[in-house]
Amino acid sequence: MIFLRHFGMALAIAGAIPLSADAQRTFIRVNQLGYLPLEPKTAVACSLDSTSIKSFTVQDVDGRVVFGPAKAAAAGSFASCASTHRLNFSQLRKPGRYTIVAGGASTVIVITSKTYDGAADTLLAYMRQQRSGFNTLVKDSIHKYDGRIVDHPTRNNEFINVSGGWADASDYLQYVTTSANATFVMLMAYRDNPKAFGDSAAFYH
């Protein structure tokens, strides 16, 4: 059997959690794009221990509480979070920049009707610059000679021209699966909501 290893660059970002007694143990996860004014709004407080959070607040840019104290709903453990709490602030509908505070942790949230403007086109741009062959970011062809056979008794390092697919598509991590799924989901989104895309060029090339 022949295995292709499509060599490319991968960027790993890791954040170490300090182990001192004073280390932060609770972190708040939010929709980083923001929240629509009239739609549901939920954040999740993740604690690395069995912390019980009773309530949370939302503050404006001047530190004034504009929502809460409201109940923090316990939601059990998840992955490395020994305890999680759902923080529902759907009733806060006024657009603006706020800070959500719970369990000694805080993070910024944004409420705006423009939350998802341009998001679809950002995804398209990312997929384009991940493509082997012509790369729209550097305006040149990349990954032209890195389709190589690996793990073969006689043909190791033999070049096979597979330009035109995705970078690392046949890597050991099998990125072709995630790339294909992402492509399908975006094509389905374009089929169902074409007006959400300001850029349609990708669908004609």
CA distance 157 to 58: 57
Q: Which CATH architecture has domain 26-111?
A: Sandwich (2.60)
Q: Could you give phi then psi for residue 119, rounded to 5 degrees?
A: -65, -45
Q: What is the CA radius of gyration of the chain?
A: 23
Relative orientation angle of helices 119-129 and 175-192, to the nearest 10 degrees:
140
How does pLDDT run across 101-139, given as a tens digit for each residue? 999 999 999 999 999 888 888 888 777 777 777 877 788
Number of neighbours of residue 124 by Cβ within 10 angstroms: 19
CA distance 2 to 75: 46
The whole-number pLDDT of residue 20 equals 45
Q: Give domain limits for the chain.
A: 26-111, 118-204
The whole-number pLDDT of residue 203 equals 45
pLDDT values of the chain reduced to their tens digit, one per residue, 205 residues: 333 333 333 323 233 333 444 578 999 999 999 999 999 999 999 999 999 999 999 999 999 999 999 999 999 999 999 999 999 999 999 999 999 999 999 999 999 999 988 888 888 877 777 777 787 778 888 777 777 888 899 999 898 887 776 666 666 566 777 777 888 888 898 898 888 787 765 444 4
Kindly state the tokens that stand for 9. 């660059």
CA distance 55 to 76: 16
The whole-number pLDDT of residue 168 equals 64
CB-CB contact of 68 with 84 (8 Å): no
pTM: 0.65
